[in-house]
Amino acid sequence: MIKPSVPDQLDVRRACRAEESYGAVMVLQRLPRVLEAIEESVRAVAAEREVRVELAFSRDASGWHRMTGEVSVRVPRVCQRCLKPMDDVVTSQVSVAFASSEEEARQVPRDCEPMILGAQLDTVAALEEELLLAMPLHASHADTSCAGEIPGPEASAEPEAAVAKENPFAVLGKLLGKNESKS
């Protein structure tokens, strides 16, 4: 049975034994670290955006407690090219194996990220980390849809040609020429 909300704290071992699944929608406001990573000018709009969470807990044949699923949100950002608002879809595929120590974490199967924890999982912090790692550092429209002026190669070729015509040693040549004529 899929549960409609994700608790803030979760007993991972119990959730894995019961093979619990969560399919929830929450507001981005519940993930304050993600909100802080968004430009202040669009943060108020972002706080009300929906975060879609699908998580499944299980225990694999090797005995590892696992969390798999997907977290996604449409985040309002500011394009760094044209400085206009845009929506950035941030999605993270979750594949975690839980470990109780550093040494155990080194033995986690290669298809999973290790997560060291005690008895309880802070699901809010885990979801924040997944989204923060998936979020691009700089937001920008696709090249074809950005309304900003993006200089192309033909625009930058002209100033270089003008600079190439000016000889910085012309003054030196004139000075040398004058000195030679005096001798």
Distance CA 44, CA 166 (A): 52
Query: What pLDDT shows up at residue 42?
Result: 86
What residue segments make up the domains of the chain, in order of their start? Answer: 2-134, 153-182
Residue holding tokens 């985040």?
A: 75
pLDDT score of 179: 58
What is the mean pLDDT, run by run of 10 residues, along the chain of 183 residues? 81 92 91 90 88 94 93 90 87 93 91 88 92 88 65 53 67 73 52
Strands of the sheet with 85-99, listed across from one edge:
2-3, 21-27, 50-59, 65-78, 85-99, 113-116
Supply the pTM of this predicted model.
0.71
Comparing CA positions, the residue from 40, 47, 57, 67 lying closest to residue 2 is 57
Which pLDDT belongs to residue 172? 78
State the Cα–Cα distance between residues 113 and 119, nearest whole angstrom: 18
